Amino acid sequence: MRRLRPSWIAQRFGIAAPRVAVRTQLAWYWRWIAIVVGAALSIVLARWLYDAGSRVAGFDRLEIEQEILKLRSDLGEARTELDKFRAAVDAADSRLAIERAAQQKLADQVRSQERQNTLLREDLAIFENMLVSGPREAQSLVIQRFQIEPAGAPGEYRYRMMLFSPGRRAERNFQGRLELTVKLSDAGRGAMINLPDTAGSEAFKLSFRQFRRVEGTFRVAPGARIESVQARVFESGSDQVKATQTVNPG
């Protein structure tokens, strides 16, 4: 018996036709809104579950946050106190520096006064010698207490002497000049320095009645060793030496 095949129409719209599902099509922005809302609800629910679980376990987030705020406040106060202490320490350091500077200045004044006292004692010894010796008319000019000593800086030396005219009366001043000849050795080689290096140096000009203290400084090459220093006094307008003395520092 021949089996009849259903027609095309029957296959398309009849009982044997494939099933058709009818779905409502949503706009894409409604889908994104739904996704965002669902995610937000999930986060809120997760946060609530976390806080609830923390409270059950004895961990209170709000209390911890309050404790953190309190600790931050205490830290700020501690920093403020530390700044105050630092300011106090800086002020104390400043006062200490001022006191040290004052002490150093006072020590310098004491040393200067001691040096002045030493010079006065030397002058007194000279004048006492003058009284004991009496006037010496034959000797018109004398160099007393000629000394050479380091001045502090490398290569710097200080010289001092007393010029005394025992036979000179008060009729006029002595006018003249001082010259120094420094003999030294530098790196095994001998050298000589004449001071002043210029003829018109005011520091080496002399004008006094019966006595005068002369002092000053000069420099040589650092490391050079001074063997001797000779002092010579000339009267103005003459190349004849009126007085001379040589010292050997060392």
Mean pLDDT, to the nearest integer, of 173-177? 86
Residue 38 lies in a domain: no
159 CB-near residues (< 8 Å, 6+ apart): 146, 147, 148, 180, 214, 215, 216, 217, 218, 229, 231
pLDDT of residue 166: 64
Enumerate the H helices of 160-249 as residue ranges. Answer: none
Cα dihedral 107, 112, 116, 121 sign? positive
Place of tokens 């309050």: 66
Number of neighbours of residue 42 by Cβ within 10 angstroms: 10
Q: Is the peptide bond before 150 cis (omega within 30 degrees of 0)?
A: no
Does 209 have pLDDT greater than 70?
yes
Reported as a single tens digit per residue, the pLDDT across 121-136 is: 877 776 666 655 555 5
Tell me the backbone φ, ψ of residue 87, rounded to 5 degrees. -60, -40
Written as one string, the DSSP assignment of 9-28 is HHHHHSTTSPP----PPPPH
Radius of gyration of the chain (CA): 54
Contact 195, 189 (CB under 8 A): no
- Tell me the pLDDT of the chain averaged across its residues: 78
What digits encode the pLDDT tens for the residues 237-248?
888 888 999 998
Phi, psi of 216 (to 5 degrees): 180, -170
Distance CA 245, CA 250 (A): 16
126 belongs to a structural domain: no
Residue 48, pLDDT > 80, answer no
The answer to whether position 24 is within a domain reads no
Q: Is 216 part of any domain?
A: yes
Is 60 exceeded by the pLDDT of residue 219?
A: yes
Helical H segments across the chain, by residue range? 8-13, 28-56, 61-133
| % of the chain at pLDDT higher than 70 | 73
Residues spanned by the domain of 220: 142-247
Supply the CATH number for residue 169's domain.
2.60.40.770
Q: With respect to residue 190, please indicate whether it lies within any of the assigned structural domains.
A: yes
Nearest Cα neighbor of 243 from 168, 151, 155 is: 168
For 213, the token pair is 């203290």
Query: Does 204 reside within a domain?
Result: yes
Residue 155: closest CA among 66, 218, 238, 88: 218
In a domain, 26, yes or no: no
Place of tokens 């090459």: 221
Amino acid symbol at 13: F
CA distance 234 to 176: 5
Instruction: Say whether pTM exceeds 0.75.
Output: no
What value does the mean pLDDT take over residues 68-85? 86
Name the residue among 169, 175, 249 with its Cα closest to residue 208: 175
Domain count, the chain: 1
Question: Does residue 185 sit within a domain?
Answer: yes
